[in-house]
Structure 1
């Protein structure tokens, strides 16, 4: 592949620092992970946003979280149509092979994907309406949220409402996967919806009894 280039030097230096410290001090643990395989208790579906660092937030070590990231942390409905479904494949593997006990969907403030969906629905982003826009077609999953949040007082309030609604949409879509529903009903899997305020570091968890997100 002629277009592949060497790593930037700053990444090489960071890797070498990690190899000489964190890896060197935990060789037995890394060897065990390699030989015995992974046994994560939790799957995390989070946004691709570089500001969302779930492992750091929960101070998780290697081997603890099975993480899948995509735009806006969305889960599409179950649709075995023969297409390429990276998110659905990750969910299938986590639930049927790894048999995780918890599945977290993590949304966040100032999400660019949610803003794109908002602007697309408002007619402000015609480029996302194009059939060739992968982002636009992915954000179609959340189109109904635009109408559900029209009563918000300000645009900022509406965007936050859409961010939180996206988490609920993903949780609802997870239950369309037959193996997810079966595991949840057998009490072998618990679903959790989280929203993180990037600036304040506050994390809210959806409380189904209260019908709202509550700070943890």
Structure 2
């Protein structure tokens, strides 16, 4: 027997509230999405962090964004090795099947994954160094970024810099996917690097011309 249990009553109540209001008010739109399929123009790669609510930040409705979330909004490099790559699969589907015209990589402040990477690379998180740590091996993707910012003495400043390095690492790794490169060079796809301060609600975008993040 599988170890599943019924939903807590509080979640059931919230579902029925949504069904009776938001869904009921937009039933025709939901039916259209179901029958005609999705046509999102934007893919968002963001962190799993529950404090980052992508659709709220941009006021998006159902069907507008194709969203993939993982620890620290990281994109691995293109590695067609026959293994299972959830992030890479999502990117392939978004670009080659959905034909999205924008990919946004959205990082954020106080990122737990980035903090873990900083502690691991500093030698202060031995559990993440273990070979069987999924989080640790995932955050190895950001180790080169940490090497760029490790000399920053202030913890908060270093981690914010590393959060932004996570965004840039993902942008760079996106450009290792042949189908992403083809779409970008053809002018059919634009990549965007963003960082959200969850305390202030501000959003910064990366400017390749200045190699800096600045407030939008």
Partner of 1:174: 174
CA shift, 1:146, in A, is 1.5
Superposed, which structure 2 residues align to 1:135-174 within 5 Å? Answer: 135-174=135-174
Matches within 5 A, 1:39-188: 39-188=39-188
Question: Gaps spanning 5+ residues in structure 1: where?
Answer: none
Query: What's the CA shift for 1:62?
Result: 0.2
> What is the count of residue pairs matched by the alignment?
216
The Cα RMSD (Å) is 0.7
Deviation at 1:13, TM superposition (A): 0.7
What stretches of structure 1 move > 4 A for 4+ residues in a row?
none
How far apart in 1 are the matches of 2:21 and 2:129? 48
2:151 partner SS: coil
Query: What are the ranges of 5 or more consecutive residues in structure 2 without an aligned counterpart?
Result: none
Partner of 1:27: 27
SS at 2:80 equivalent:
coil
Deviations 1:188-209 (A, max 9, x none): 0000000000100000000111
For residues 88-113 of structure 1, give each alpha carbon's deviation from its aligned partner in whole angstroms, at most 9, with x where no partner exists.
00000000000000000000000000
In 1, Cα distance between equivalents of 2:143 and 2:183 = 28
Matched position secondary structure for 1:61? coil
Whole-angstrom distance in 2 between the partners of 1:131 and 1:119: 16
Q: Distance in 2 between matches of 1:145 and 1:92?
A: 25
CA distance in structure 2 between the aligned counterparts of 1:2 and 1:108, rounded to whole angstroms: 36
Looking at structure 1, the residues matched to 151 and 123 of structure 2 have their Cα atoms a distance apart, in angstroms, of: 18
How far did residue 211 of structure 1 move? Answer: 1.1
Deviation at 1:144, TM superposition (A): 1.0
